[in-house]
Structures are given as structure tokens and as C-alpha cells.
């Protein structure tokens, strides 16, 4: 256990890439701020946790001015996400859900983003935004 953090999920380990799981954390302060100022984002932590457990792709090295440059971006398609407070819906076909973690295994950002090809888990501008793609699930078409 880490002081000041919630253990939120066991997710796919981006360093082993063999199905091994690792613990991911969320800052208590970030979570409190989220519930206070961005409730919809706080509710969508469930979508982010789904993506950490069941990604389609994992990218390493987040490029543009990131304070945590060498983190990972997990990309996936959760079954549902909150579109408004209390209303769940399927993720639109042109979006993918991203969960960003740093090298300390802290989930620090999560959001839906436009896809180049959602069925393959390809984000728009991925070549510019990330150093490299390190893993792709092979059971997808």
C-alpha cells in the first residue's frame, strides 16, 4: 500500500507483455479533485480500469510536453461509459478510451479520444504522440 494512493486495479503489465498483471494506483488528491470539479470524469474511472485490464493496444513514451514522458497509454473499448451523470451508453464507434499511467504505476489521466480505426485500436496522430507501440492484442481483426 502507498500512502496517499488508492490501489485501483490489477492491470496488464506493459513491461512483461505476457499477460502478467501489476497493481495500478490513483492519487487520493487527484480523485478528490476529480469528484469535486469533474464528476463525469470521476465516474468514467470505471472505463479507464476496464482498459487497463483489457487493452487493445499499449503505447509507450507520451511525447507532447508531458510531465510524465515515459509513461504508457493503454487503448481500449469499454462496454460502456458515462455520457452524463447516471447515464451509461456504449462508446461511439469513432472513439477509443485511453488510460495513461506513469512509470510509478499511477493512473493520471483517462479520456475518450478520436480513433483512426477503432476496430484495431488505432488512435489519430499516434505516430506523433507516442514513442512506440509496444503491444497489440492479436485476437482482434
Q: Where are the domains of the chain?
A: 5-130
The predicted structure's pLDDT at residue 127: 87
Interval 2-56: pLDDT, tens: 999 999 999 999 989 888 999 999 999 999 999 999 999 999 999 999 999 999 9
The predicted structure's pLDDT at residue 1: 76
In the beta sheet, which residues pair with residue 58? 74, 135
Phi-psi region of 95 (alpha: psi -120 to 50; beta: other; left: phi over 0): beta
Task: Give the dihedral sign, CA 89/93/95/97.
Answer: positive
- Among 54-68, 89-103, 108-122, 124-138, where is mean pLDDT lowest? 54-68
Three cell numbers written together for 63: 511525447
* Burial grade of 48 (CB within 10 A; 0-12, 13-18, 19 or more): buried
Which residue did the predictor score with more confidence, 19 or 92? 92
In the beta sheet, which residues pair with residue 86? none
Per-residue pLDDT band for 67 (boundaries 50, 70, 90) equals low
pLDDT at 124 over 70: yes
Instruction: State the pTM of this model.
Output: 0.91
The predicted structure's pLDDT at residue 141: 43
Which residue did the predictor score with more confidence, 74 or 18? 74
Q: Which helix (H) or strand (E) holds 73?
A: strand 72-76
Amino acid at each position: 500500500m502507498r500512502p496517499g494512493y488508492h490501489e485501483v486495479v490489477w492491470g496488464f503489465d506493459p513491461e512483461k507483455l505476457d499477460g502478467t498483471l501489476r497493481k495500478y494506483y490513483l492519487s487520493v488528491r487527484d480523485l478528490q479533485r476529480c469528484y469535486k470539479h469533474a464528476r463525469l470524469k470521476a465516474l468514467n474511472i470505471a472505463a479507464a480500469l476496464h482498459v487497463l485490464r483489457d487493452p487493445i493496444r499499449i503505447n509507450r513514451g507520451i511525447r507532447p510536453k508531458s510531465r510524465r514522458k515515459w509513461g504508457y497509454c493503454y487503448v481500449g473499448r469499454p462496454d460502456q461509459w458515462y455520457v452524463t451523470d447516471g447515464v451509461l451508453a456504449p462508446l461511439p464507434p469513432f472513439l477509443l478510451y485511453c488510460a495513461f499511467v506513469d512509470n510509478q504505476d499511477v493512473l493520471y489521466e483517462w479520456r475518450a479520444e478520436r480513433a483512426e480505426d477503432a476496430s484495431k485500436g488505432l488512435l489519430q496522430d499516434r505516430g506523433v504522440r507516442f514513442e512506440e507501440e509496444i503491444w497489440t492484442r492479436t485476437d482482434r481483426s
